[in-house]
Amino acid sequence: MKFFFTLFVLLLTISASAQRSFEEAYQFIYSDKIASNVVEAHLMADSLLLVARSDLERVKAHMLLGTIEQSIGHIVPSLNHVFKALQIAELCGFVEWQSRANGFLATAFRQAGLYSESFKSINKCEQLNELNPRREGYLLVKISILQEKALYNMDKGQHSRAIAFIEKAQSLVSEDSTVDPRSIIIKATNDQLLGIAYLNLGLLKKADSLLNSSLTKLGSQESNLRPYIYRALAEKSMKENDFVQAKSYLDQAAPYLESANRMELKMLLYQSYINYYTEIDIKQVKSYTEGYNDLLKNKLIVEGEIADQLLSKNNKKIQNFERWVIGVKYLGFAALAFFFLLIVFFIWKFFSNLGRSKDRLLGIDNDDFIAGDTAKRLVLKLEDLVDEQFFLDPELSLSKLAIKMETNPRYVSFVIKRHTGKDFYEYIQGLRIAYIRERLCKEFELLECKISYIGSLCGYLSPSKFSRAFKAETGVLPSVYIQKLRLTK
């Protein structure tokens, strides 16, 4: 794997035509690797971001990483990449990619049940797309917008209204002549959505025809759309009491659960397995029901994580960025306002410090935000978890830590900041790198291991992320640090 990753970066870097190499790699990852091997896709996309030479390439790389993170169930990192792509696209005036990023956000927010945020994003996407109806890609984005509106109505059980949006998109599909991987998936998705809408209305023949048409349009191209189609065909077969065929379709969809961690897909497939085994073998229903309930609980955690942690932070970043762009036109006024606010801030800080209690609890101020006893308990709990090396969990998140500490993410973030002076990610990074440095100094056999393996020991599944974190904490790359230790042992 390390050799493959290194070779991929090298090929991109020394290519005679960097632009063409980047685009070819981007299309290969998007059309093939995400569905066939998401781990390799992630490594490739990381390297693609590293070798990106232009702002447009950086936008594409971030959007690609957002898609990959979403496919493995990492919703917060996924949205972080998309927000970065959106910020660059807004700064550089890439209207198409602003539109695409807003479309991505609309889908993510809808799946999390944040419909008001989803509406804002899809409306922004539509406004941006209509700025230039003649540009390449205009029709595909418009089709995606109509599909998103259809999905919203399907979520609400309004399948007839959904069909109206999909049929409108279908008329646009016939007008678009592009044949790149993205257009193939969008067009196949249109048949799939229309098939599901007819399935929910009990029109099984129409559903069967459209779902198989969707598979035909995909052809040999791998895509995470396939398991959704197989799952719908399984539901259609069960409605026809053909449980042998239904099981065949479910078995074709099941392998995609291993290459992707899409919560939505898992919940749909588990529900279908429950429907299947209710008729075939009632004893097996229990395990799928338990799995479905676990997914539902995890979905609630993800929704809370997005709402409580990411939305407020990133929306403020976008709003501040938009204000800054407008403020450039009024630079003199903005500078004056800045200094005025700065003076107000220091005055407020001065009087706030005067009124704050001198009693400090393990380095944490006892202000109105969190009670002193609660703060003390959380600090002690955090120290216990450090002793248990909780930070080595590669899937660790603020919400997950909050569950371990039996509190909410805001309290955990507050306690870490006041106790260590760092935010959550800086704190975890410091613990992980300190841990692996200690092991490297004591266990000399590790000095002969691969960087990827050493990184995995301290919670990093991506060698590039481990290298960046190690350099941020020590000032040198892990390879350099290890070489120095070899010379001193």
pLDDT digits (tens, 9 = 90+) for 130-139: 888 887 778 8
| Percentage, residues of the chain above pLDDT 70 | 79
Asked if residue 368 has pLDDT above 70, the reply is no
pLDDT bucket at 470, cuts 50 / 70 / 90: very high
Structure tokens at 372: 């002193």
**pLDDT at position 433, please?**
95
Q: What is the mean pLDDT of residues 449-470?
A: 93
**pLDDT at position 152, please?**
86
Asked if residue 37 has pLDDT above 90, the reply is no
**pLDDT at position 18, please?**
47
407 phi-psi bin (left φ>0, alpha ψ -120 to 50, beta other): beta
Q: How far is CA 435 from the centre of its chain?
A: 28
**pLDDT at position 304, please?**
61
Q: In the 3-class helix/strand/coil scheme, how is 157-190 assigned residue by residue? A: CCHHHHHHHHHHHHHHHCCCCCCCHHHHHHHHHH
**pLDDT at position 427, please?**
94
Q: What letter represents residue 255's amino acid? A: P
**pLDDT at position 352, please?**
52
Asked if residue 229 has pLDDT above 50, the reply is yes
Asked if residue 324 has pLDDT above 60, the reply is no
The Cα 410–Cα 391 span in angstroms is 18
Does CATH number 3.90.1150.170 belong to domain 1-135? Answer: no
The Cα 423–Cα 421 span in angstroms is 7
**pLDDT at position 438, please?**
92
**pLDDT at position 367, please?**
45
Q: What is the mean pLDDT of residues 87-104?
A: 89
- Are residues 9 and 467 in contact, defined by beta-carbon separation less than 8 angstroms? no
Q: What is the mean pLDDT of residues 161-168?
A: 91
Residue 306 neighbours by CB under 8 Å, 6+ apart: 75, 76, 79, 108, 109, 112, 114
Asked if residue 428 has pLDDT above 90, the reply is yes
Q: Where are the domains of the chain?
A: 1-135, 370-488
**pLDDT at position 14, please?**
41
Residue 183's alpha-carbon distances to 33, 141, 179, 467, in angstroms, are 17, 10, 6, 36
Q: What is the mean pLDDT of residues 372-392?
A: 89
Q: What is the mean pLDDT of residues 3-27?
A: 57
Asked if residue 389 has pLDDT above 90, the reply is yes
Q: What is the mean pLDDT of residues 69-76?
A: 78
pLDDT bucket at 313, cuts 50 / 70 / 90: low
Q: Which of 181-185, 202-206, 214-218, 402-406 has the lowest mean pLDDT?
A: 181-185
Q: Domain 370-488 in CATH: superfamily? A: Homeodomain-like (1.10.10.60)
**pLDDT at position 240, please?**
93
